[in-house]
Structure 1
Amino acid sequence: MTAETIINPRLKSIAEFLDGNHHFIIPSYQRGYRWEERQIIDLLNDIYEFQEDTKKKNDNKIGEFYCLQPIVVLKKDDNKWEVIDGQQRLTTILILLSSLKGALRLLKLPTTLFSLEYETREKEEFSSKEFLENITSVTTIDKANIDFYRMSEAFLIIKKWLENDDINLGDFCNTLLKNDFEDLFDHANNVRFIWYEIDPRGDTPNVAFAKYNQGKIDLTNGELIKAIFYLSEQSMNDREKKKYQLKLGYEWDDMENTLRKKDFWRFINPNKFYTNHIEFIFELIADKYIDKTDLKLNKEIDTLWSFYVFNELIAKNIAIYDDRYNSAKDFLWDEVKTYYRTFVEWYDDNIYFHLIGFLLHIDKNIESVKNLTESHTKLELEKELEILIKNHFNEIDLEQIGYDYNPKKAKELLLLFNVISTMNSGYNRFAFYLFSEGQWSLEHIHAQQSEELKSEKQKRQLLMEQKRYFLSHEKLQFLSKIEAILQLTKINQEQFDAIQTELFSEYSDSSTIHSIKNLALLTVPDNSCLNKEAIGFK
């Protein structure tokens, strides 16, 4: 499922669900409520820790929020939503709000809770919706229905946790439900869901559910990070907010359009896939500043890790910026543009393009190359790039590189030969995108089982190349024999075979058949066309 299947991705506070217009349905193809005590307590503790961290801050920065994991929904009617994913969290939050209803009433906070119904979890005259609406009357755990049993258990766990003397119910309720909407943006320190809607014109809900759980729904970091940047500052008036958002949108589109150009994209990013190409820059920046946060993330598992880093840095306004910036958000957006401008500078410069492109295609760290850019003049940088390349091959003995031994280094060395040759031509640029997208392989120049050259044209081409070689190297003993054959209207096969046998005897060594001397880097289509012909045609 592609990103186009997702519509209206955004952050949505719990308070937005308490308007009487949010009714959620958990369809029959999903499992029932299964959260256990550890998961419930972890959620409650996380919200409480967020509440206490926010209170401790003297500056009380606005717009900080605790972010719950995504809920994915499909709109059914005006007020009804089918839940594709996230029903465990949603059910737990509903039970929590039901447990707090008395406190909410005293605090004059919303008490019209959203409703939730498990489609096939019903007794004869008692639905899951009704059970949840009356869950505060539970005194013992109902074992008659597995879902009601789990819900009853969750309510008693939450009730016990809320009775802890350390919990200030007023602060906790405000943390859950506070909102401060201005120009459609919520500036409150509260709890929010990552909200995704499935396009109703796409897959059926059960197919969407299956694809989501197979990892095929693309919940993009890019759109979520964009939503954070679009939050305007509270001090802005309407005109300033509109101007700010238009400017940000223009800059975003400009960068994304350039990054989507194939030759530019594969120059800086040899092989990774991103729905929004700007996510490549977001990941680099998130990786750079993750140590400034308290987040413990596994990048291999947490697919939204870069969003979590940006969210943490911006929401908590972590001090990664200097006096030139008003906030971490301003600094980070400028950082995104700085990365982009650096990549454009590399791309536009012939030497940078080829040397940096080569380094990135042998898996050199792009951040380390960028750091060199920032700390050196152009001439110094060119020298540093050359040193990096030389050091990569420093410990290599050319006699120990070949088809059967260290083929990776052989391929890299031949790539360097192609890149430098193209760079020095002065008019061509190496097509890194073809190298990234093609199936390149090491091939023998003189194959182990060379086939005879069939056509007159092929034989004459080979003799002409050999003639040029011997002229440039002043090897006159073979030159006269080659010229004599070329002067014939039709090449004599016996003479041709004799000179080739003599040349191979003089210059060939069976021990070098797999060495780099006898290797070329070719795409699969090229090699299929060339088959096992000789050097002149490869």
Structure 2
Amino acid sequence: MSSTTPLIDLFGKKFIIPHYQRGYRWEEQEVTELLDDIWNFMNTSNNGEFYCLQPIVVQKIAENEYNVLDGQQRLTTLYLILVYLEERRFEDGYNQELFTLNYETRDKCEKFLADRTFITTVDESNIDFQHICNSYRYIETWFSKHAGAKGKLIPILLDDNSLGNKNIRFIWYDVEQEKNPIDVFIRLNVGKIPLTDAELIKALLLQSDKYHPDDLKFNKMKLFEIATEWDTIEYTLQEEVFWYFLSNEENTKPTHIEFIFDAIANKILKEKKYFESKPLKHATFLILSAYLQDLITNDKKSRIDAVKHIWEMVIEYFEYYKEWFENRKLYHYIGYLIESKGSYIIDTLIKESKERTKKSFVTYLEGEIKDLIKINTKRKDASGNSIAVNLKDLCYENEDQKTNDKPLIIKILFLHNVIATLKSEKEKAKFPFNLYKKTKKNEKWSLEHIHAQKSENITKLEQQKSWLQDHIKSLTNTNDTQFDSVIKKMNIALKDDDLDKEEFNKMVSSVYSLINKISGITEKNTHQIDNLCLIDKNTNSQLNNSVFDVKREKIKKREVKGFYIPISSRNVFLKSYTDYPQNNAYWRLEDRTGYLKSLEEMYNYFVIEAVN
């Protein structure tokens, strides 16, 4: 049965959000759009017209008490708007008691809303409360930008259906009591963007009307326990550091627990073959649904035992994730492997962890890392003989200029950063896989020549003068008389607004020629691994054409501004791998030797020592 119902008719009623629904999730966009729509209606409509909100679908469970099957996000937001307007509502004579809301999975929800602490604080104790608090902030912000909106919107929101009133109304749809509310909920939401596989699975697992009345009380307690654990897992997976440890993908889905259900569904599909090929839509939900029915029909489990069996699988996955995340060595080893190979390896890691002792599992992980970084390349020497390539020989650009070792160098340098963080005792640091992966997605990672390989032509006058300013300062600070002549020419060039291109390139060549001589750099060793580090491409583009000293200053400024610089790359420009560096202006042989030694120690541990 459906009708149009003004908001005022909902006052005094109690609305329950069943446990099989997701919690409150509206963001600023949805809250603002609702207020904008109401505001536009107020400004453009005539008396007697009404603005129809999307349906609210309910099922009556007692007098003035309803389960909300659809429309809970809008209903909760309107409740928050009415709370915000309360003082002005009372002044204007709209002093009726509001409707109440209760999310079944939140045992303190009704009290939380009644106490209205969300007005002054942001409660982060669970994801629903946090979203509600945030939405209240969005409402405050909206009204601060719309002068007079408080008084003008109150009658639009709260006037009844009397002749001549203009107001907002719901399409009120009351589902017959004998209908299955879960079936109605799924049917209403299938095809809507907000409904995820995880939400469908939640409805599938947590419906309580499938049980005999004699068992209902006990089973509802178990289902409530699962719903509570569900929220804990979801909240943890929403944490950015935890999420990017496990996954290489940015999760745009509103429910992150789907990550676990996807893994379980893929495992089940391999074993059970419920479908010839994986379904294109709602695959995870369909596989879990088939598995639940299989457990009941073929394994002769009761429904509650079948649900508990599936939930125990979820808990098992999550417990492994937590154990790996909290153990620093496992966190760094597994995080490196997942970033390098993908999340699909998690099932194999769980299998190996079950079958091995903790020590043996660590050895297994070290062997997997070895397989990723071990050098199996051979090259021909000047006489045409085949020789094995060592770590020090890995090159950004090989002599034939048709091949390179870039992919392997990146794997090794990435591992060097991960292990450097693991070895750091500073506040038990963890490698920031979240920053590394987000940078990889947005800016990409590249290999930076620590001592610049060669100067690329700088043609724009502004860039030429910037280069001159940086390098005059750097070379002057060396107090090296070898640079006196070129510094003098650079100062003259800096004042020339019609700088000759060839003259500028000669100065650049002179600077590099002198520094190459001091640093012991040749064309060949410029490209070797002891002259390479990982830098994001945006930073890389700002370092091009700069000598070591200038690069260090630019990197320091980038890091101060909040840009992520990997720990080993930072250590390179701080010369942390050099014992008592004699000169900080250049990347010299002693610096490359210290850096290479650190790389070799790490490489030899995984390739030679750890697996023997």
Deviations 1:53-79 (A, max 9, x none): xxxxxxxxxxxxxxxxxxxxx759999
Judging by fraction of residues, say which structure has more helix. 2
Letter in 1 for 2:266: D
| Structure 1 segment 106-505 matched on structure 2, within 5 A | 194-197=186-189, 217-232=193-208, 234-235=211-212, 237-273=215-251, 274-296=253-275, 298-299=277-278, 302-317=280-295, 327-364=305-342, 365-397=345-377, 398=391, 399-402=393-396, 405-427=404-426, 428-438=429-439, 439-442=443-446, 443-450=448-455, 454=470, 458=474, 485=479, 501=514, 504=517
| Residues 510 and 503 (structure 1), Cα distance of their counterparts in 2 relative to 1, 3 Å cut | closer
Deviations 1:95-133 (A, max 9, x none): xxxxxxxxxxxxxxxxxxxxxxxxxxxxxxxxxxxxxxx
How far off is 1:440 after superposition?
3.2
The answer to whether the Cα contact below 8 Å between 1:354 and 1:423 also exists between their aligned partners in 2 is yes
How far off is 1:415 after superposition?
0.7
How far off is 1:250 after superposition?
0.9
Between the aligned partners of 1:234 and 1:456, the Cα distance in structure 2 is: 81
The answer to whether the Cα contact below 8 Å between 1:293 and 1:312 also exists between their aligned partners in 2 is no
Letter in 2 for 1:295: Y
How far off is 1:181 after superposition?
7.5
How far off is 1:319 after superposition?
9.2
| Residues 453 and 382 (structure 1), Cα distance of their counterparts in 2 relative to 1, 3 Å cut | farther
Between the aligned partners of 2:359 and 2:451, the Cα distance in structure 1 is: 40
Between the aligned partners of 1:362 and 1:381, the Cα distance in structure 2 is: 18
Letter in 2 for 1:340: F
Between the aligned partners of 2:57 and 2:290, the Cα distance in structure 1 is: 35
TM-score scaled by length of structure 2: 0.46
TM-score scaled by length of structure 1: 0.51
How far off is 1:257 after superposition?
0.4
How far off is 1:524 after superposition?
3.2
How far off is 1:513 after superposition?
3.2
| Residues 76 and 333 (structure 1), Cα distance of their counterparts in 2 relative to 1, 3 Å cut | closer
How far off is 1:296 after superposition?
2.0
* Structure 1, unpaired ranges of 5+: 1-6, 12-73, 80-179, 187-191, 199-211, 464-484
The question of 1:526 aligning with 2:534 is answered no
The answer to whether the Cα contact below 8 Å between 2:333 and 2:365 also exists between their aligned partners in 1 is yes
Secondary structure of 1:251 counterpart: helix
How far off is 1:343 after superposition?
0.6
How far off is 1:526 after superposition?
3.1
Between the aligned partners of 2:300 and 2:548, the Cα distance in structure 1 is: 60
Between the aligned partners of 1:223 and 1:347, the Cα distance in structure 2 is: 26
| Residues 315 and 322 (structure 1), Cα distance of their counterparts in 2 relative to 1, 3 Å cut | closer
How far off is 1:237 after superposition?
3.4
* Structure 2, unpaired ranges of 5+: 1-16, 22-53, 60-176, 378-390, 398-402, 456-466, 489-509, 553-572, 574-612
| Residues 321 and 250 (structure 1), Cα distance of their counterparts in 2 relative to 1, 3 Å cut | farther
Aligned residue number for residue 160 of structure 1: none
Between the aligned partners of 1:527 and 1:250, the Cα distance in structure 2 is: 47
| Residues 281 and 312 (structure 1), Cα distance of their counterparts in 2 relative to 1, 3 Å cut | same
Letter in 2 for 1:454: D
How far off is 1:185 after superposition?
6.5
| Residues 329 and 181 (structure 1), Cα distance of their counterparts in 2 relative to 1, 3 Å cut | farther
Secondary structure of 1:237 counterpart: helix
The answer to whether the Cα contact below 8 Å between 2:198 and 2:257 also exists between their aligned partners in 1 is yes
Where relative contact order (Cα < 8 A, 6+ residues apart) is larger, the structure is 1
Letter in 2 for 1:526: T
Aligned residue number for residue 143 of structure 2: none
| Residues 272 and 495 (structure 1), Cα distance of their counterparts in 2 relative to 1, 3 Å cut | closer
Between the aligned partners of 1:433 and 1:295, the Cα distance in structure 2 is: 36
How far off is 1:448 after superposition?
2.9
The answer to whether the Cα contact below 8 Å between 1:317 and 1:329 also exists between their aligned partners in 2 is no
| Residues 455 and 326 (structure 1), Cα distance of their counterparts in 2 relative to 1, 3 Å cut | same
| Residues 356 and 257 (structure 1), Cα distance of their counterparts in 2 relative to 1, 3 Å cut | same
Aligned length, in residue pairs: 324
- Identity %, equivalent residues: 25
Between the aligned partners of 1:354 and 1:414, the Cα distance in structure 2 is: 14
